[in-house]
């Protein structure tokens, strides 16, 4: 009897130790989600800053997002192979160091005052973030019970949203509010970020994270192509347009709010307002998580898409506070779109799930192309009317929710 009690106590102790290790690992991973959310949203601050510094038109300024999100499309397949080879923990270390390298490259880019070098720096930086995403998302999902994987990812995504909310406030103060009016204003902030990333890499190199078995999806032996799955292909297009629409709106907010007919703000004040756009997404994610227990995901996605379209129409046809707050409100309706579309797109794929997920993730390249299209529209018809580009994106997402997704 005493032997049995001793055995149970030992098992409890081992289980408790394992749970503690997993909790520590999860906390460390959520810090990563915060980091890349913070760094990614700084693009919204840098775009108007570089536009002014290099006297760019809107199309040229949007090359920032083209290079940044283009890295997702190019690097993702290689990142997956890298993680398979070196493991999750070493993949995270390499991702952090690559991101830090991109940040350091901002220094010579500003010293030489060459826009093309800035674009290369964005690509390197985003390549590191891509590696982090490829490593961190499945690691967090596997870090505990399968039944709680979704809640862990949602919590980690909340940390990401916190980063996207804080980023514009600090970025506006450090970069847009800098005394120097040239590109050198980015050197200090990005060197500080690089230092933090290197420190984080050293921490992740030394801490002991649980080693998780790499579980491969069931091998597909049917020979069926993912392109034959209508809901998946249409869902990948929905992700392409969603990421493109969300990123494009965020990219134009500072310039939009400095327009005299909209808010007439200073660049610093306009930069701080960007936090409301991304903060609204964080709030919307919490509200959506609760409401989707009672409303079908397709209907909730359709409702959010329709309301996003309404908000854009209001902003395009008004001025002052009405135009400003209505476009910021789109952030709230963006909140549940990515996970909902992703889930609908890969539903029922079975052995094709891994390939389908890869296709959907590569569709994030919409963040590279849609802002470029809106930039061209802003140059030709003006910044306010250019929001018709993301509006069309949300119209398609609403159609996908009601007609394109497999609702069986």
82 vs 180 pLDDT, higher one = 82
Q: Does 262 lie in the same domain as 123? A: no
Indicate the residue among 179, 207, 235 that finishes a domain: 207
Most trustworthy range by pLDDT among 142-146, 168-172, 290-294: 168-172
pLDDT of residue 214: 44
Find the farthest-apart pair of alpha carbons in the chain and give their distance in angstroms, rounded.
83
pLDDT of residue 354: 67
Q: Does 286 lie in the same domain as 160? A: no
Rounded to whole angstroms, the Cα distance separating 125 from 42 reads: 12
Residue 213 forms part of a structural domain: no
Q: How many helices (H) and strands (E) does the chain have?
A: 16, 0
Burial of 303 (0-12, 13-18, 19+ CB in 10 A): middle
Q: Does 166 lie in the same domain as 199? A: yes
250 vs 208 pLDDT, higher one = 250
Q: Does 101 lie in the same domain as 13? A: yes
Q: Confirm if 163 and 38 have CB atoms less than 8 A apart.
A: yes
Q: Evaluate if residue 357 carries a pLDDT over 80.
A: no
Nearest in space to 273 (alpha carbons), one of 336, 190, 319, 329:
329
Q: Does 376 lie in the same domain as 287? A: yes
Task: Write out pLDDT tens, residues 265-315.
Answer: 999 999 999 999 999 998 998 888 888 889 988 999 999 999 999 999 999
Which CATH number characterizes residue 83's domain? 1.20.1250.20
Round the average pLDDT of the chain to a whole number and report it: 86
Nearest in space to 90 (alpha carbons), one of 229, 206, 246, 185:
206
Q: Please report where in the chains the tokens 């690097």 appear, as a residue.
A: 75
Indicate the residue among 143, 178, 207 that finishes a domain: 207
Which tokens in the block code for residue 131?
Answer: 């590696």
If one counts the domains in the chain, the total is 2
Q: Does 290 lie in the same domain as 202? A: no
Which tokens in the block code for residue 350?
Answer: 């079975």
> Average pLDDT in the 2-22 region?
51
Q: Does 200 lie in the same domain as 69? A: yes
Q: Confirm if 233 and 341 have CB atoms less than 8 A apart.
A: no
Q: Does 151 lie in the same domain as 30? A: yes
How does residue 178 score in pLDDT terms, banded at 50, 70 and 90? low
Nearest in space to 247 (alpha carbons), one of 156, 368, 345:
368
Q: Does 196 lie in the same domain as 235? A: no
Q: Confirm if 19 and 12 have CB atoms less than 8 A apart.
A: no
Residue 214 forms part of a structural domain: no
Q: Does 262 lie in the same domain as 138? A: no
Residue 217 forms part of a structural domain: no
Residue 90 forms part of a structural domain: yes
Task: Write out pLDDT tens, residues 329-348.
Answer: 999 999 889 888 888 888 88
Q: Does 399 lie in the same domain as 316? A: yes
Write down the pTM of the prediction.
0.84
Task: Write out pLDDT tens, residues 279-288.
Answer: 999 899 888 8
How does residue 222 score in pLDDT terms, banded at 50, 70 and 90? low
Query: What is the residue range of 298's domain?
Result: 225-408
Q: What percent of the chain has pLDDT over 90?
A: 56
Lowest mean pLDDT, pick from 153-157, 183-187, 369-373, 383-387: 153-157
Residue 47 forms part of a structural domain: yes
pLDDT of residue 279: 94
Nearest in space to 200 (alpha carbons), one of 96, 338, 273:
96
Residue 216 forms part of a structural domain: no
> Average pLDDT in the 217-237 region?
75
Q: Confirm if 186 and 42 have CB atoms less than 8 A apart.
A: no
Q: Does 297 lie in the same domain as 168? A: no
Indicate the residue among 174, 207, 240 that finishes a domain: 207
Residue 365 forms part of a structural domain: yes
């Amino acid at each position: 009897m005493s032997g049995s009690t001793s055995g149970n106590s030992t098992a409890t102790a081992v289980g408790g130790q394992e749970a503690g290790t997993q909790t520590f690992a999860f906390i460390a991973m959520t810090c990563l989600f915060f980091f890349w959310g913070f760094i990614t949203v700084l693009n919204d601050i840098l775009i108007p800053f570089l536009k002014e510094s290099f006297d760019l038109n809107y199309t040229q300024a949007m090359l920032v997002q083209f290079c940044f999100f283009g890295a997702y499309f190019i690097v993702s397949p290689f990142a997956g192979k890298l993680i398979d080879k070196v493991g999750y923990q070493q993949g995270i270390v390499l991702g952090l160091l690559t991101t830090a390298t991109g940040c350091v490259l901002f220094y010579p880019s500003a010293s030489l005052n060459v826009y093309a070098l800035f674009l290369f720096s964005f690509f390197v930086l985003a390549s590191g973030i891509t590696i982090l995403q490829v490593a961190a998302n499945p690691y967090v999902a596997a870090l505990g019970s399968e039944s709680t994987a979704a809640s862990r990812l949602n919590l980690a995504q909340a940390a990401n949203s916190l980063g996207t909310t804080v980023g514009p406030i600090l970025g506006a103060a450090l970069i847009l509010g800098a005394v120097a009016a040239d590109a050198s204003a980015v050197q200090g902030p990005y060197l500080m970020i690089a230092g933090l990333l290197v420190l984080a890499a050293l921490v992740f190199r030394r801490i002991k994270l649980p080693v998780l078995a790499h579980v491969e999806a069931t091998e597909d032996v049917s020979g069926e192509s993912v392109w034959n799955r209508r809901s998946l292909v249409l869902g990948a297009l929905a992700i392409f347009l969603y990421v493109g629409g969300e990123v494009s709106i965020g990219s134009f907010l500072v310039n939009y709010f400095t327009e005299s007919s909209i808010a007439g703000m200073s660049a610093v004040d306009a930069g701080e307002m960007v936090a409301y756009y991304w903060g609204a997404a964080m709030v919307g994610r919490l509200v959506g998580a609760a409401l989707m227990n009672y409303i079908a995901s397709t209907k909730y996605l359709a409702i959010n898409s329709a309301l996003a379209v309404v908000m854009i129409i209001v902003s395009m046809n008004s001025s002052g506070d009405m135009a400003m707050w209505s476009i910021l409100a789109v952030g709230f309706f963006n909140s549940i779109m990515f996970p909902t579309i992703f889930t609908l797109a890969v539903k029922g794929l079975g052995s094709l799930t891994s390939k389908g997920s890869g296709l959907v993730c590569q569709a994030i390249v919409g963040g590279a192309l849609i802002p470029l299209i809106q930039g061209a529209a802003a140059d030709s018809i003006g910044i306010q009317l250019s929001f018709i580009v993301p509006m069309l994106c949300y119209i398609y997402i609403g159609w996908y929710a009601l007609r394109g997704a497999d609702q069986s």
